[in-house]
Amino acid sequence: MKYDIIVLGSGIAGISIGAELSKELSVCILEKEKIPSYHSTGRSFAFYIETYGNELVRKLTTASKDFFLEYSKTESDSKILNKRGVTHLAQNNQINKLKDNYKDLKKINNDLNILNKKQTLDLLPCLNDEHLNSSIYDCNASDIDVNLLYSVYSKIFKSNNGELITDINIDKISYSNKCWSLDTDKDQYTGSIIVNAGGAWSDEIGTIFNAQKIHLVPKKRTVFCFKPDNNIPLSNEWPVAVDVDEKFYFKCENETILASPADETPSPPIDVQPDEIDIAIGADRISTATKFKFNNIFNKWAGLRNFVSDKSPVIGFDNKVKNFFWLAGQGGYGIQTAPSLSIISANMILNKSNKFYVEECGINIDLLDVKRFN
């Protein structure tokens, strides 16, 4: 089977760049699992926060918004982004941190307010007022319908004759006549360019192709779900609550609280599972910060957020190996940045200009480029 592009990995990175490139080239996505987006993409908190991550990540997030809004219009009644807001909560001993964060966030995110204790409690009456001091409120933060986003990209990909092949094991790789050949347990796939969208496995994939290393560190993050036992009225309208030091966060969905201890435990690239200790830590922090009482955790999962040292994504052609393109290191922001990252990456592959992203969105592409690991 011969293609222009072979993408490795069918998470949001693989499907988004696959969709963008399929508009002009023949593209095949190869996925090692039986189910697409089985790893990080299927395990996220599904949230869009323009005030999250470093400055570059925040610009990439904002630059992705138009895509989310545009495709929401064409998809029946559903919207990809559904506004609910986020509050960055400070307790009495976290006021300096709140002020520092506000100063930093204000540099590029204007639509922010500091709320006093009463205003914060009006938005989130479930909080424990004993510990709360104030919060930063970002009214633009939204739930992301990840399934809808994935299906938008899948539709674009399929309508352009893109092929997604799951349950693939690569046995042998060779490169000759400007073409990669991948011998797999199913077939031989050849392509001019390989895109490494392997999530937590990106460095391992790089090694197989003899590419450079980006020293990616997968970090485990846990999510658990509970229904409070003490009849606290719950609301889907509540903003997400995030501790200003990111020691926990939670949101309410259909009478259920989805919560995280915001753990960041380094892990090898594996099918990671939640640890009881992380859930206990998260439950303790959330019990202290709120009025919730709960004993029964009825659902839990963990996934990997993959970071390089500067916590910015990594895109671009490898330094060592020809026609090997990286799309990795999206950390905890890979869903909310997928539209801008995939278009910028596709433009690099297609030799097209990224002027809009540089000049209008203020994105310094050198800070994303894999060449920074030279």
Q: Phi and psi dihedrals of 210, rounded to 5?
A: 65, 25
Least distance between ligand FAD and beta carbon 52 (Å): 8
Least distance between ligand FAD and beta carbon 115 (Å): 22
Q: Of 46 and 370, which has the nearer Cβ to ligand FAD?
A: 46
Query: Number of C-alpha atoms within 13 angstroms, CB side, residue 350?
Result: 19
Q: Of residues 17, 18, 27, 43, which one binds ligand FAD by CB under 6 A? A: 43
Least distance between ligand FAD and beta carbon 117 (Å): 27
User: What angle do helix axes 55-74 and 146-159 make, rounded to 10 degrees?
Assistant: 70
Q: Please identify, among the stretches 43-51, 131-139, 341-349, 352-360, the one whose residues bind ligand FAD according to the rule CB under 6 A.
A: 43-51
Q: Does 201 bind ligand FAD (CB under 6 A)?
A: yes
Q: Of 10 and 120, which has the nearer Cβ to ligand FAD?
A: 10
Q: Please identify, among the stretches 77-85, 240-248, 333-341, 350-358, the one whose residues bind ligand FAD according to the rule CB under 6 A.
A: 333-341
Q: Of 203 and 369, which has the nearer Cβ to ligand FAD?
A: 203
Q: Of residues 4, 33, 104, 163, which one binds ligand FAD by CB under 6 A? A: 33
Among positions 258-297, residues that touch ligand FAD (CB under 6 A) are none
Q: Of residues 221, 247, 285, 300, which one binds ligand FAD by CB under 6 A? A: 221
Among positions 108-147, residues that touch ligand FAD (CB under 6 A) are none
Least distance between ligand FAD and beta carbon 56 (Å): 14
Give residues with Cβ within 8 angstroms of 130, minimum separation 6.
none
Q: Of 50 and 91, which has the nearer Cβ to ligand FAD?
A: 50
**Residue-level length of the chain:** 374
Q: Does 370 bind ligand FAD (CB under 6 A)?
A: no
Q: Of residues 22, 26, 40, 340, which one binds ligand FAD by CB under 6 A? A: 40
**Could you tell me the end-to-end alpha-carbon distance of the chain, in angstroms, rounded to an integer?**
34
Least distance between ligand FAD and beta carbon 242 (Å): 11
Q: Phi and psi dihedrals of 57, rounded to 5?
A: -60, -40
Least distance between ligand FAD and beta carbon 54 (Å): 14
Q: Of residues 198, 228, 261, 339, which one binds ligand FAD by CB under 6 A? A: 198
What span, in angstroms and rounded, lies between the C-alpha atoms of 304 and 40? 6
> How many residues line the site for ligand FAD (CB under 6 A)?
40
Q: Of residues 11, 18, 162, 228, which one binds ligand FAD by CB under 6 A? A: 11
Least distance between ligand FAD and beta carbon 326 (Å): 11
Report the interface residues with ligand FAD, using CB under 6 A.
8-14, 30-33, 37-41, 43-47, 168, 170, 197-201, 205, 221, 223, 303-305, 330, 332-336
